[in-house]
Structure 1
Amino acid sequence: MKYFALPAAVLAALFSLSVHAETLTIGAEAIPHAEILEHVKARLAHEGVDLKVKVFSNGLQENFAVAGREIDANYFQHQPFLDGFNKSKGTHLVTVAAIHVEPFGAYSQKYRQLADLPDGAVVGIPNDPSNAARALLLLQRNGLITLRDPGNILATARDVVGNPKKLQLKELEAATLPRLLGQLDLALINTNYALQAGLKPKRDALFIEDSRSPYANILVSREDNKNSPALKKLVAALTTPEVKQFIDQKYQGAVVPVF
């Protein structure tokens, strides 16, 4: 067997890349965020960035991890969620870039169309303020309730002024809603949790947000880190036509690029 020695210049370049590669650790939800990040790993490696993806199942912990400098940034939330977190926790996390929208949907194991939903139906909505408001706005858009201010992205159940079907709104932890579908008549579920549960939003949702949704998922970091060269390379990698094609083909409308 013959062995071929690499030219010294090539060895030096490879050694330099391995020594000087910068590690960038990003927190993410398993689906779709971590999958999208994994897709750009190889490209970033060529650019001297060693991308580490740390999967979380709790968004609050992801934000605390960024604020506490345990990770460099995270990718799982939309701007209203971030604003609410910063306000309630006294943090100052910032948006780096908007990447995609996951249209929010309403699901049921008992009813296949909205017209079948009975009076007094039990409707599960997320219990965090930003997604609770998002759920209420979607219910309103589909004629099930009326809010005091129809455009208020901070609306709560107390702002419901019309409820002709006398729906019973139950606020529950967002991640648990897919598992509780059998106990509810209807549940308003974030698309990342729907995908993790094997639901296909375009097929299974009784109704769903359209592309005009203001809830784009964002890359989030600290003020002192938002302009780091490694994060800039990550944003560039995430917003290429190739990644847009990957998202479109893999998620079939359940995840919509915003770049």
Structure 2
Amino acid sequence: MATRALVVGGTGGIGFAIACRIAAESASSTVIISGRNKPKNIPHSNMEFRPLDASSMRSIKKYTDAYKSAKEQSIDLLVLTQGILTTAGRTETPEGLDVKMALHYYGRQLLVRELTPVLKNDAKVLIVLDGLRGSPVGLNWEDLDLKTHYGMSNAAHHCISMNDAMVQAYAAQQKGQSASRRHYVHAHPGIVKTDLFESLPWYLRAGTRVLSHVIGVAPETCAANLLKGTYDSAAAGEKEDKYWSCIDGTGNLVTKKPSWSEEEIKKVEDHTWKIVDDAINTPSQ
């Protein structure tokens, strides 16, 4: 089946493996990969690279505006895997966002929002971070962007949990729109054998490298699992009129998820767009 896919974070690791799998499955597919640096080797002729600094809201807005203004074909699959593994404390971008939260959360949401007009009515959106541990419990509701309560654990919990909230928010927006049945998936990839751990301080690299290679799966295996899980959960969800899912590293549905109230989801949604739009409108330095 021919697929038009956009994979942000698709220049390495899990994202690159997902992009390659889609491209290999059908020569008629088109796969756009985006990130900071072009891969040295792009193995399939139906893959193309477009540069994007996914930590910058202004760059994302410019990128998505260019895609829409070019009147390109609609997207079947949007995959968001961009991220960073770091032990540093809060490190702000020129737009005032923590770089980890910009990559793992805010930039992903902006991409979904801005590309929604060019998503097919049955498109799939796959956010790869952690579809297992998200919960409204433990969020600092008065400081969701962690300006004053930042910590590695807090940042991880906020990004994971707010991604959970937003897949539900997007799904809810489709109620009453019979033509729209897009499915939004938040996935936990599990432990994967990638070079991501090389960004850690030297004294942490050896242990994590060994751990990932002993119990981790190959990126290609992870890609196959997550893609199958995305399409399987979408098919199952449509039968139940449910358009969001959380899946694990094997592609299986995560069923015992904490419940979010409509008020909690709305609070996350409102916070997200205020932070993102303020960042877009921040004067360039």
With the length of structure 2 as denominator, give the TM-score of the two structures.
0.27
What TM-score results when the alignment is normalised by the length of structure 1?
0.29
Greater relative contact order (CA < 8 Å, ≥ 6 in sequence): 1
Larger Rg: 1
